[in-house]
């Protein structure tokens, strides 16, 4: 920050000039359609999402910023320097002024464009934008050395994020490999039993509850990755009347409608209400450990067992409660279960945990992104010339 402050004091002590985007950049759309995309396409095809498709022909060869015209307004930005194709409802922003760098403009838009667009909206969200709205966006024009210094700093954060994402993906693949290997008991002398023989299995409520601001947390399939972060609650009265079975410590939730076979362990002594999209599995801890069940169901062999009993033609796909009890699971000795769980717990914490104390990569990514957003905000705040 000291270097930036020094440059500002030296090069623009009276503030910086602002211009509307249309005065420094060309704004336009493409003519390609998403259905023209091919997996092996030679060039990137930018549509209206974070996902970049591929295509065999290109429309532009330039340095530009791509934003969607619909959906994800102020959330999605692509920087491109080369050949690409563009969807009809996505916008390209090409700098035509020597006063500003494209990378600097991209970072500035990422930091400020959404707020600007929301100020123009009647509602709290913006569904679509048109060229005149984009054209009016005010852009600061600090001297190029300041722009370059800011870009260098923010590029460092971006590169670190990409490196952490690559590390996370590599560790996930490693985790899946060891999970599948450790939980593959084919050809081994291990007893197999149906889940219903070693667990009690319960259904969630089929009634859409009346949500409240406080009370008992209510979870469904969308909360399986973070049970206790749900914002939905039901009243204590409804909880007592809708549920004969209350979740207990070490119970296992499993998704059974729409998304099949994702699991979570009840690891807090806290009341939870649950919807029919989840089933509650209560293991006999003298025979099988909760986390062993979770890791097995999520393994490739466990997913094969699930698919045997899943109604894949139903809309949405589902597995009936009675069929869950028929799922076959291996039952090695408890000591072996605990050994396997101990190994997989470490991998799971590394690739899934968002808590800083666990050293999980997602937690590191979240911390670095928060730091990046802080510095981006600080670095990209400028006094308007003449207002100082």
DSSP structure string for 105-130: HHHHHHHHHHHHHHHH-SSSS--B--
d(CA 73, CA 40): 28
| CA neighbours closer than 13 Å in the CB half-sphere of residue 40 | 0
**pLDDT score recorded for residue 362:** 86
The residues that bridge with 87 in the sheet, in sequence order, are: 32
Tokens for 203, please give them. 């259904």
The residues that bridge with 28 in the sheet, in sequence order, are: 92
| Residue whose entry in the numeric block shows the structure tokens 């009016």 | 136
d(CA 302, CA 177): 14
Beta strands 233-234; 252-257: pairing state: unpaired
69 DSSP assignment: S
Burial (Cβ within 10 Å: 0-12, 13-18, ≥19) of residue 361: buried
**pLDDT score recorded for residue 2:** 65
Tokens for 85, please give them. 């194709």
Strands (DSSP E) contained in 228-271 are 233-234, 252-257, 259-265
Contact 289, 337 (CB under 8 A): yes
111: left (phi over 0), alpha (psi -120 to 50) or beta: alpha
Long-range contacts of 369-374 (CB under 8 A, 24+ apart): 369/161, 371/157, 372/154, 372/157, 372/158, 372/161
d(CA 209, CA 273): 10
Regions in the chain scoring below 70 on pLDDT: 1-6, 8-10, 12-13, 121-126, 354-359, 386-388
Interior angle at CA 330, CA 297 and CA 324, nearest 5? 45
Fold of the domain built from segment(s) 19-141: Adenine-n6-DNA-methyltransferase TaqI; Chain A, domain 2 (3.90.220)
Domains 19-141 and 191-331 share a fold: yes
Contact 16, 386 (CB under 8 A): no
Fold of the domain built from segment(s) 191-331: Adenine-n6-DNA-methyltransferase TaqI; Chain A, domain 2 (3.90.220)
Contact partners, residue 49, CB within 8 Å, separation at least 6: 68, 71, 72, 76
pLDDT digits (tens, 9 = 90+) for 284-338: 999 999 999 999 999 998 999 999 999 988 899 999 999 999 999 999 999 999 9
Burial (Cβ within 10 Å: 0-12, 13-18, ≥19) of residue 171: middle
Query: Please, what is the end-to-end C-alpha distance for the chain in angstroms?
Result: 20
Which helix (H) or strand (E) segment holds residue 192: the answer is strand 191-194
**Residue 138, SS3?**
strand
Domain positions in the chain are: 19-141, 191-331
**Residue 180, SS3?**
helix
């Amino acid at each position: 920050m000291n270097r930036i402050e020094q440059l500002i004091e030296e090069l623009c002590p009276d503030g910086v000039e602002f211009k509307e985007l249309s005065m420094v950049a060309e704004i336009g759309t493409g003519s390609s359609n998403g259905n023209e995309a091919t997996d092996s396409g030679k060039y990137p095809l930018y549509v209206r999402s974070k996902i970049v498709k591929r295509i065999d022909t290109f429309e532009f060869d330039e340095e530009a910023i791509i934003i969607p015209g619909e959906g994800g307004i102020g959330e999605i930005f692509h920087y491109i320097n080369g050949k690409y194709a563009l969807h009809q409802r996505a916008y390209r922003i090409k700098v035509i002024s020597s006063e500003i760098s494209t990378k600097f403009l991209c970072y500035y838009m990422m930091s400020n464009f959404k707020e600007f667009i929301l100020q123009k909206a009647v509602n709290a969200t913006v569904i679509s934008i048109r060229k005149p709205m984009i054209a009016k966006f005010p852009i600061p024009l600090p001297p190029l050395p300041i722009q370059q210094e800011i870009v260098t700093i923010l590029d460092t954060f971006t590169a670190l994020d990409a490196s952490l994402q690559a590390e996370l993906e590599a560790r996930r693949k490693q985790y899946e490999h060891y999970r599948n290997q450790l939980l593959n008991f084919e050809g081994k002398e291990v007893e197999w039993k149906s889940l219903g023989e070693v667990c009690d299995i319960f259904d969630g409520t089929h009634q859409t509850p009346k949500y409240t601001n406080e009370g008992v947390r209510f979870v469904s399939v969308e909360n399986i990755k973070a049970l206790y972060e749900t914002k939905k609650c039901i009243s204590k009265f409804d909880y007592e009347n809708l549920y004969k079975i209350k979740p207990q410590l070490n119970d296992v939730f499993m998704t059974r409608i729409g998304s099949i076979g994702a699991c979570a362990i009840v690891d807090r002594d806290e009341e939870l209400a649950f919807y029919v999209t989840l089933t509650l599995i209560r293991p006999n801890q003298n025979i099988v450990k909760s986390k062993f069940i979770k890791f097995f169901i999520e393994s490739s062999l466990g997913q094969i067992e699930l698919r045997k009993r899943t109604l894949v033609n139903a809309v949405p796909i589902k597995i009936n409660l009675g069929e869950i009890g028929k799922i076959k699971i291996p039952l090695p000795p408890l000591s072996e279960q605990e050994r396997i769980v101990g190994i997989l717990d470490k991998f799971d914490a590394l690739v899934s945990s968002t808590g800083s104390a666990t050293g999980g990569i997602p937690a590191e990514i979240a911390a670095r992104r928060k730091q990046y957003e802080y510095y981006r905000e600080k670095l990209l705040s400028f006094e308007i010339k003449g207002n100082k």
